[in-house]
Structure 1
Amino acid sequence: MYKKSVVSFLVLFACQLLLAQSSTLTGFPKNFTPQEIGKRLAYHFIDGRHDLYAAKYIHYAEVCTWNGALDYAVNAKDQKLIQLLKDKFEPFFDREKPLLPPMNHVDYNMFGSLALKLYQLTKDERYRKLGLAYADTQWELPAGANKEERAWADKGFSWQTRLWIDDMYMITVVQNEAYKVTGDRKYIDRAAKEMVMYLDELQRPNGLFYHAPDVPYYWGRGDGWMAVGMPDLLSALPKDHKDRPRIMEGYLTMMKSLKKHQQPGGMWNQLINEPDFWPETSGTAMFAYAFIRGIQQGWLNAAEYGPAARKAWMAMIPYIDERNNVTEVCIGTGKKNDKQHYHDRPRNAGDFHGQAPYLWCAAALLGK
């Protein structure tokens, strides 16, 4: 009798968790559904021009948006969109080949994640070869490496390490996709080792991250890269991996702090802990994504975090304008030990830094 009661309780508890999740991450009203929002933003991306570094190379923010559009297309089962996203990439094999980023910087190398995602959809070896080249050169020390780069490599880290928090998306995304393609644990081991080191070096006791060790401000999108990088890595990391407990600890600590700093309307501000700063869309979308993934994986309590994730999504959507551009997106921002610097940053409509995480959220809400 006792065992039956325990089993009944566990079944009831599991059903309650599923109900809590389904009631907060589904059933969105018209014009707020992930199907509608993802379609608007993904097809808008198809029609857009490339975003280039200094008019030379594909910008990482475009890669992030492309990845999001692909994830959305797959989860929405939109075969037309998948084909359009493939067609958009095809010129990189011939006339647009000069736009491919060189394999010599953390922001450039993450381009490989896009090719590796496309390989998983198509099994076209051209994507695999291109993507793995970006993943491997992130750890292959070049002949002209400087002293600092050699020091990182000698410790088993990427020579591109620089202890900027956005690295924990840029490095982990390409290594993660390489692991999915090859099954070779060296790729996921690299990503996990790097993540643990960054957590130990940069995470503050409150779970958040300064923009840099010498810049004591909790910049929204900066923290967003960590908030996205951790659940994406944890989703692929083997259950028995030695670094999994440390990364999970860092993730859960950050999520708890983010929930406390969410504004009453559902957004997060340009500086997370500054209530007088303006609501910023890219960081908000990244934090919403981190909540959604955690709820879906069972790492976060659905009853506690589900309403916060839903509130964020509902607050985000009105910031999309009639041209399908996300507004109130902080432009690319270098570190500066000046609070006013963050307050006064220009805001771009349609900036890929904002389009990307909105697509990530739409794709995640359609996934599992």
Structure 2
Amino acid sequence: MYKKYGNTKTHWNILTADTILKREPLMNLKGKWEYEDGLMLNGIYQIYSNTGNKEYLEYIERNLDNFIDNQGNIKSYAKEEFNLDHVNNGKIVLDIFNETKKDKYKLAADKLYQQLLDQPRTKNGVFWHKKIYPNQIWLDGIYMGSVFYAKYQYLFNISDHLDDVVHQFLGAYKATLDKNTGLCYHACDESRKAFWCDPNTGHSPHFWTRSLGWFVMAMVDVLEYLPNSLEGKQQIVGNLNSLLESLKTFADQNTNLWYQVTDEGDRPMNYLESSGSLMILNAIAKGLRKNYLSEEKWGSFLDKAYEQALLQFISIDHDYVNVNKIAHVGGLGGPQKRDGSFAYYMSEPIVANDHKGVGPFLMLSNEMEIRN
């Protein structure tokens, strides 16, 4: 953010939400049901909840209606792919159902919930990330699937599978944790067969900041849907605090932000990456508001980081807010044979205004508006 654009007191949540409404009347011109659009809509909904501006709610409903018909069928969604990414948008579907009570949204959410009940699992009972990635646990997938898993049960007063929600979080943490750094790897292949994984641990080669961002956001988000009496809830709180403490040790000391490859900030070509940094900061801000984290430990860190995030990542052009320095994608395997190497993470395009960065900025700026 060039200094003339504003400062930490600027109403970035409203400016950015208004930018989305003007710049992107349709959230997905390809007609694809994509997780990053749900991430962006989640941010818009949080700002609606904070401001009461009905234009934001109308925007969400209008865009969801491009995908969901009156029978709750979702355009371009295929259950048989068992893709956790495709469940993420279910969270905003639940919010809009709660606002409108229209049956089609409940029917759509039912379909996504049923996918989770049938989702393939590792031997340890953690969801596969996708059918095409057998036996693989990705941190991304916890955010995509398991927060919705809990939210659906919370909204409809179901408790049958809440212990399984906890198991997803604790199982993924255990499977991906590196005890030396306290960080979690992007993914783990339980079968040790993927060409990218360590043959002994099953871990992917590197720590990737956005995957860690997905995970800490998921932990903060899921807690409000779990009863305090549920066994394992406090362990999620403990894991959240431990992972964030480890992340703090790898934050850039000048900015309190994070590099694309989390633990190699001094390596040539590595760069401060916005989407992952914004996700982690959003988790910290919401965690503070919900009292999962200590203000004494995290308050000043967050305030400095937010100011630096605005300077490093945010610009304004023709009254439109831009979120810059977003790693376009990051994955493992697939047709591109992504190997999870440092070179791979450096090779992915760096883009602006991708919803994987815009969504977390909407959420973070809204949390900071509440905080200030």
Among 272, 293, 299, the residue aligned to 2:262: 272
Among 320, 325, 346, the residue aligned to 2:322: 325
Which residue identity does 2:322 align to in structure 1? Answer: N
Does the alignment pair 1:50 with 2:24? no
For residue 119 of structure 1, what is the aligned residue in structure 2?
97
For residue 24 of structure 1, what is the aligned residue in structure 2?
none
Identity of aligned residues (%): 20
Equivalent-residue separation in structure 2 for 1:297 and 1:110 (angstroms): 22
Which residue identity does 1:195 align to in structure 2? Answer: F
Any unmatched runs of 5+ in structure 2?
131-135, 189-196, 198-203, 333-338
Equivalent-residue separation in structure 1 for 2:150 and 2:370 (angstroms): 18
Does the alignment pair 1:78 with 2:78? no
Which residue identity does 2:259 align to in structure 1? Answer: N
Q: CA deviation at 1:227?
A: 1.1
State how 1:338-349 maps to structure 2 within 5 Å: 338-349=341-352
For residue 8 of structure 1, what is the aligned residue in structure 2?
none
Q: CA deviation at 1:221?
A: 0.4
**CA 1:34–1:123 in structure 2 vs 1: closer, same or farther (change >3 Å)?**
farther
Equivalent-residue separation in structure 2 for 1:123 and 1:59 (angstroms): 24
For residue 167 of structure 2, what is the aligned residue in structure 1?
193
Among 75, 79, 85, the residue aligned to 1:99: 75
The total of aligned residue pairs comes to 329
* 1:313-366 CA-partner distances (Å, limit 9, x unpaired): 111223223232210000111232421222332101111110011112123334
Q: Could you say which structure has the larger radius of gyration?
A: 1
* 1:150-195 CA-partner distances (Å, limit 9, x unpaired): x64x865546573011011011221132023202123533321211
Contact 1:139 1:159 in 2 (8 A): no
Deviates more, 1:81-90 or 1:257-266: 81-90
CA RMSD of aligned residues (A): 2.6
For residue 43 of structure 2, what is the aligned residue in structure 1?
68
Contact 2:126 2:137 in 1 (8 A): no
State how 1:296-307 maps to structure 2 within 5 Å: 296-307=289-300
State how 1:131-142 maps to structure 2 within 5 Å: 131-140=109-118
Any unmatched runs of 5+ in structure 1?
1-28, 142-148
SS of residue paired to 1:163: strand
For residue 250 of structure 1, what is the aligned residue in structure 2?
239
Answer 1 or 2: which has greater helix percent: 1
Among 146, 170, 173, the residue aligned to 1:172: 146
* 1:242-267 CA-partner distances (Å, limit 9, x unpaired): 11132122111101111222212232
* 1:258-317 CA-partner distances (Å, limit 9, x unpaired): 122221223211111112321100011011011112212222220220111112211122
Equivalent-residue separation in structure 2 for 1:217 and 1:160 (angstroms): 18
* 1:116-138 CA-partner distances (Å, limit 9, x unpaired): 11112222222122112211222
SS of residue paired to 2:323: coil
TM-score computed with the length of structure 2 as normaliser? 0.81
**CA 1:98–1:256 in structure 2 vs 1: closer, same or farther (change >3 Å)?**
closer
Q: CA deviation at 1:34?
A: 7.5
For residue 38 of structure 1, what is the aligned residue in structure 2?
13
For residue 64 of structure 2, what is the aligned residue in structure 1?
89
Does the alignment pair 1:235 with 2:224? yes
Deviates more, 1:192-201 or 1:291-300: 291-300
